[in-house]
Amino acid sequence: MLERKSSLLKVTLNFLLLISIQYIGLLLALILTYASPDENVAHTYEASIFLLASSILSFSLLYNISFKAEKSNLMKYFYFLISILFMLSGILLGLICKYAHPMGIVDIPAMYLFFISSAIISLGLILMFKHNRGAKNE
């Protein structure tokens, strides 16, 4: 019983950690794009570095989680859901850099960095499912 509670606590902490990591990065990226402290200027390139950093960290966390075979499928789907949202926001911000930049320009390097962030997080998701399946088969 105690072991089960401790495992549940760990899973919940991992989940909260993943949410905080992803949304701190996303929030800072959005601030630099739409509410930059120096007004009138959208710093999409810097914003993309924030999202990239968050996605690297999320990938490491998902990679770490993937080796601890989750008994609860529900939790796995929660990880999947929030990471998919994060991935989609990366793609969306990348498209914004190309087609709807707040300053009316096109920022290609930022677009690539946003897309790379999305790719990194999707790799983390793939690994998580792959390792979980492997652990179940054992």
> Which residues of this protein are in contact with other proteins, per CB under 8 A?
21, 24-25, 28, 31-32, 36-41, 43, 45-46, 49-50, 52-54, 56-57, 59-61, 63-64, 67, 102-105, 123, 127
In the complex, the smallest distance separating the C-beta of residue 32 from other proteins, rounded to whole angstroms, is: 6
Residue with Cβ nearer other proteins (55 or 76): 55
60-63, long-range: CB within 8 Å, 24+ apart, which pairs?
61/14, 61/17, 61/18, 61/21, 61/124, 62/18, 62/121, 62/124, 62/125, 62/127, 62/128, 63/124, 63/127, 63/128
Residue with Cβ nearer other proteins (1 or 32): 32
In the complex, the smallest distance separating the C-beta of residue 49 from other proteins, rounded to whole angstroms, is: 4
In the complex, the smallest distance separating the C-beta of residue 73 from other proteins, rounded to whole angstroms, is: 21
In the complex, the smallest distance separating the C-beta of residue 118 from other proteins, rounded to whole angstroms, is: 16
How far is residue 2's CA from residue 10's CA, in Å, rounded to a whole number?
12
Which string of b and e fits 15-27 if b means at least 16 CB within 10 Å?
Answer: eeebbebbbebbe
- Determine phi and psi for 69, rounding to 5 degrees: -55, 115
Residue with Cβ nearer other proteins (61 or 76): 61
Residue with Cβ nearer other proteins (5 or 104): 104
